[in-house]
Structure 1
Amino acid sequence: MTDPTASIVIRCYNEREHIGKLLHGIFEQSFEEFEVLLVDSGSTDGTLEIARQYPIEDVVHIPPEKFSFGRALNYGCEAARGDYCVFVSAHCYPKRVDWLSRLLEKFDDEDVAMVYGKQRGGGPTKFSERQIFRRWFPESDIDYQLTPFANNANAAIRRDVWEEFPYDERLTGLEDLDWGKRVKEAGYEISYASAAEVVHVHDESPGEIYNRYRREAIAHKQIIPDQEFTLFDFVRAYARNVLSDGRTALEEGSLLDHLGSILTFRLLQFWGTYRGFSRDETVSEQLRQRFYYPDKNGYPAESNATDEDSKAPPVDYTAVDFEYPIEDISD
């Protein structure tokens, strides 16, 4: 293909367990005018060998010591040939065969610079994180979003807008929030496509959960300096979210199964957030590496369109042997 409409950019690092399912789902899409680019930051587990079993366009290598989330996206966008850059996490997979077309169709509005899609937890994703996905990614579309929120685990941007606004390579996370804030200030719009759904698999250790929320809090403080998260905020947020998750689990009849996970996840989430907001000094290169390559065994260190409107069939993953079982998507 000489001129793809979209360039799908996948950041990956040791994603052997997930990359095959994602690529299978991508190449089952009804929209076919795309290329796939991997931005790999030093995988050693066979990720690239699995990826090369699919017709990917290119693998862009970024040295681990130079990695940041924003820099990896800039590498991918620089190599892209499409009018749109589509970002999807290596541990996600599309639910239906119209995922890509649903994500891109909102660009028919020339004011829209970024579109992000729905995410739902799958596989070993913690109960509390599944509740976060439900809160962040509603069932109805948002044509013009008032806030700069977006999430690059499942999103697309105009490449020509990226040329004007490259991603901030210094941030330790939330590069999508920062990008959304800057383009909205320039007069562009952010749109949410509820039918462009992916299943997001997170299988993180306690240290990785803490680490993720800590580095995102540090980035949040850089992006919006006048916001804070005090010790009182930590206590209040922890209590409120534990009660909310517990109530949901009770209604579903699974409280005893998930109570320990709820207590642990929310503690790590909000303690990491508090510690991140508490930092006053700049982030050292050594700390950046800890954020991006943590020791898995270590601890701290409005429209009304909905999924029902989509008549597209689900992607068939049953013929391929993957690490995690497919979620029930027969409805």
Structure 2
Amino acid sequence: MSASCSVVIRCYNEAKRLPRLLFGLSRQTMRDFEVVAVDSGSTDDTPRILAAHGVRTLFLTPGEFSFGRSCNLGCQASRGEYIVFVSAHAYPVYEGWLEELLAPFADPGVAASYGKQRGNHESAFSERRIFEAWYPDRDPGAKGHPFCNNANSAVRRRVWEEIGFDETLTGLEDLDFARRAVERGHSVAYAPAAEVIHVHEERPGTVRDRFRREAIAYRRISPRERFTWWDFCRLCAGNVVSDWRAAWREGVLAREARAIVVFRLMQFLGAYQGMRQTGPVPETLKRRLYYPAAPVPGPASPNGSPSGGRVPYPERL
């Protein structure tokens, strides 16, 4: 009998974070699900960890990889009516995470749902601010444009079979999926109680490249959009000042001031460079954008009560 839900984990050198995610999955109150991993060329212990946990793993070579292709491969290999995507460097906060993420599918018109993301003490201050802006504690209701993020999301299988993920994009395959689903009369739901901790450990150049590849994809998705040098200056300066104010209120400005400037500079420089990219993306650039260098080693109530308690993570995993 088919599992009602399939969890697809996309992996690349995730040995440090992966055990925490797998532990969180093992503690979910929902039990009727399978786990499928798509590994895109890990050179660390990621394949061994997946094998030790009995996770069915599919492999992509670096030359075959794109975010959309890894999503489609995971979907093809899975059996669930609903397909959940979670980043290998994210982990659920609550034991009812899966239940909360899938709850919106009670509405037959929902094609996809996505949950809340937060950082931890290792996350960049500005990254945590981005998570708070993009994933509020309460559902803000109707938005001006479709949104979804495959670090913590779920899709209905029959809609995926209908439209699939675009394998040619350098990122934002989730946003593109949501856009095309809505164009076909479906809807996308936000499930704030389905919370994960999503940890990026990135050097400044890696932050720039992440936002650059997403901007390249966004230019493909929305070709009329523009991002000028003035936009770069205005948004970079405005966000730095806003982050400094937030850091001052939290009493951490002296510690975070420089890191805030570097992060926001890299974020908007990457966006500026990506939005100016024309023509096909060279394979050498694509490889750099997909395979970055090794990383450097009391909240408001959510919208509704999360199912189950917090996952009791051991100190060491």
Cα distance in 2 between the residues matched to 1:41 and 1:30: 30
Cα distance in 1 between the residues matched to 2:29 and 2:144: 31
- Aligned match of 1:127 in 125, 128, 149? 125
Percent of residue pairs identical: 47
Contact 1:210 1:271 in 2 (8 A): yes
Is it true that 1:193 corresponds to 2:188 in the alignment?
A: no
Cα distance in 1 between the residues matched to 2:58 and 2:167: 17
Is it true that 1:173 corresponds to 2:171 in the alignment?
A: yes
Per the alignment, in what secondary structure is the counterpart of residue 65 of structure 1? Answer: coil
2:14 counterpart residue number? 15
Q: CA deviation at 1:293?
A: 1.2
Q: Check 1:105–1:308 CA distance in 2 against 1; reply closer, same or farther (3 A cut).
A: closer
Q: CA deviation at 1:287?
A: 1.7
Contact 1:143 1:190 in 2 (8 A): no
In the TM superposition, structure 1's runs of 4+ consecutive aligned residues that sit over 4 Å from their partners are 142-146
Per the alignment, in what secondary structure is the counterpart of residue 289 of structure 2? Answer: helix
Question: Under a length normalisation based on structure 2, what TM-score does the superposition of the two structures give?
Answer: 0.95
Cα distance in 2 between the residues matched to 1:144 and 1:83: 26
Counterpart mapping for 1:230-249 below 5 A: 230-249=228-247
Cα distance in 2 between the residues matched to 1:120 and 1:306: 12
Q: CA deviation at 1:226?
A: 0.5
Q: How many residues align?
A: 312
Cα distance in 1 between the residues matched to 2:34 and 2:255: 42
Ranges in structure 2 where 5+ consecutive residues have no aligned partner: 296-300
Is it true that 1:111 corresponds to 2:106 in the alignment?
A: no
Question: Under a length normalisation based on structure 1, what TM-score does the superposition of the two structures give?
Answer: 0.91
Does 275-284 or 215-224 show the bigger shift? 275-284
1:90 counterpart residue number? 88
Cα distance in 1 between the residues matched to 2:147 and 2:304: 24
Q: Residue type matched to 1:321 in 2?
A: R
Is it true that 1:6 corresponds to 2:2 in the alignment?
A: no
Ranges in structure 1 where 5+ consecutive residues have no aligned partner: 298-304, 323-331
Contact 2:97 2:306 in 1 (8 A): no
What do you get for the CA RMSD once the two structures are aligned? Answer: 1.5
Cα distance in 1 between the residues matched to 2:107 and 2:290: 36
Q: CA deviation at 1:70?
A: 0.4
Q: Residue type matched to 2:17 in 1?
A: H
Cα distance in 2 between the residues matched to 1:271 and 1:178: 23
Cα distance in 2 between the residues matched to 1:128 and 1:211: 16
Per the alignment, in what secondary structure is the counterpart of residue 197 of structure 1? Answer: strand
Counterpart mapping for 1:187-266 below 5 A: 187-266=185-264
Q: Residue type matched to 2:234 in 1?
A: R
Q: CA deviation at 1:128?
A: 0.1
Is it true that 1:316 corresponds to 2:312 in the alignment?
A: yes
Counterpart mapping for 1:139-150 below 5 A: 139-141=137-139, 145-150=143-148
Cα distance in 2 between the residues matched to 1:92 and 1:42: 19
1:24 counterpart residue number? 23
Q: Residue type matched to 1:259 in 2?
A: A
1:55-101 per-position Cα deviation (integer Å, ceiling 9, x unaligned): 42x10111111100000000000001000110000000000000000
Contact 1:242 1:263 in 2 (8 A): yes
2:298 counterpart residue number? none
Cα distance in 2 between the residues matched to 1:157 and 1:255: 40
Per the alignment, in what secondary structure is the counterpart of residue 52 of structure 1? Answer: helix
1:268-309 per-position Cα deviation (integer Å, ceiling 9, x unaligned): 000010011111221122221111113349xxxxxxx93562
Does 307-316 or 18-27 show the bigger shift? 307-316
